[in-house]
Amino acid sequence: MKELEIKKVPFMGAELMAARDKDGVIWGGVRWMCDGIGLSRNQRDNQTQKIKADTVLSKGAGNFPLPTNGGVQEVLCLKLDFVPIWLAKISITPTMEAETPELSEKLMEYQLKAKDVLAAAFLPVAATPDLDTLSPELRLLINMELKQKEQDRAIEQMSQRIDSIRDVVALSPASWRKDTSRMIARIANQMGGTEHIQDVYKGVYSLVNERARVSLEKRLTNKLRRMADEGVCLSARERMTILDVIADDKKLIEIYIAIVKEIAIKFGVYLEAEAS
């Protein structure tokens, strides 16, 4: 794969392999993490198969050409956000613990720190002055300046957060379909990619059913029957969705918008103005 940035990352006496693709997504090589934890080759192969078969983990898995002892090979990698999920699913059997007693301790360290270590490998290293060579007065001034910048940064981040929430809360019912669609797409991206869009919609619909005490699916079925009885053509009926059902009821629109807002705020997603 082109534009793939590859790095070897030292961690707990082992060397992990990580890559960042052209979209900025960081991936961790599964085989290196297995070796670092202390899994045998058979156990490593077993973990590879489990990842591919797992409903959740398989969504964050991909093969990348990485350097191995046998040359560059396509190897299984996990998106960074999926690494802790995978590690949390590894079970330490009594046999494994007896053969490698340090395995449990290493696994816990990987569960807690591996994601951050892999991510840190791709963060820019800022140049810092050698404060020991400066006078005490100058060191004090520099430290005061650094603390002030940290405070300013924290205030700016809080201000952006407040503005983001304000944008979400101000979502207009007049353009609710377009705006909520954009929000849901951003929420899906926060969850790992556009493949999660339908999962977000399903979750929102489920909450609407619960809060409004309705069945959107049943309402859609009834709507389609009425349209058929009224002679509406098949192509028009096939274009009908649950959103059309929601659009028929002002109360459902309000509930739907409120739920999307809540999820957007939870994921730190807000409504940006479209480019003119």
Q: Give the residues across from 29 on adjacent strands.
A: 77
pLDDT at 210 over 80: yes
Is residue 88 within 8 A of residue 75, CB to CB? The reply is no
- Give 190: exposed, middle or buried? Use CB within 10 Å, 0-12, 13-18, 19+: middle
Is residue 270 within 8 A of residue 170, CB to CB? The reply is no
Q: Model confidence over 169-189: pLDDT tens digits?
A: 555 667 888 888 888 888 888
Give how far Cα 220 sits from Cα of 180, 233, 240, Å: 20, 16, 8
The continuous run of DSSP H or E covering 44 comes out as helix 41-53
For 46-55, 155-164, 220-229, 253-262, which range has the lowest pLDDT when averaged over its residues? 155-164
DSSP letter assigned to residue 193 = S
Average pLDDT score over residue span 104-119: 87
Is residue 56 within 8 A of residue 85, CB to CB? The reply is yes
| Strand boundaries in the chain, DSSP class E | 5-11, 14-20, 26-29, 61-68, 71-79
The set of residues, in sequence order, having a beta carbon less than 8 Å from that of 51 and lying 6+ positions away, is: 30, 57, 58, 61, 76, 78, 86
pLDDT in the model for residue 138: 60
Is residue 16 within 8 A of residue 29, CB to CB? The reply is yes
pLDDT at 271 over 90: no
Q: Model confidence over 233-260: pLDDT tens digits?
A: 999 999 999 999 999 999 999 899 888 8
Q: Greater confidence, 95 or 20?
A: 20
Nearest-angstrom CA–CA distance, 36 and 191: 27
Average pLDDT score over residue span 135-149: 65
Which pLDDT band, with edges at 50, 70 and 90, does 123 fall under?
A: confident
Nearest-angstrom CA–CA distance, 186 and 252: 22
Q: Whole-model pTM?
A: 0.45
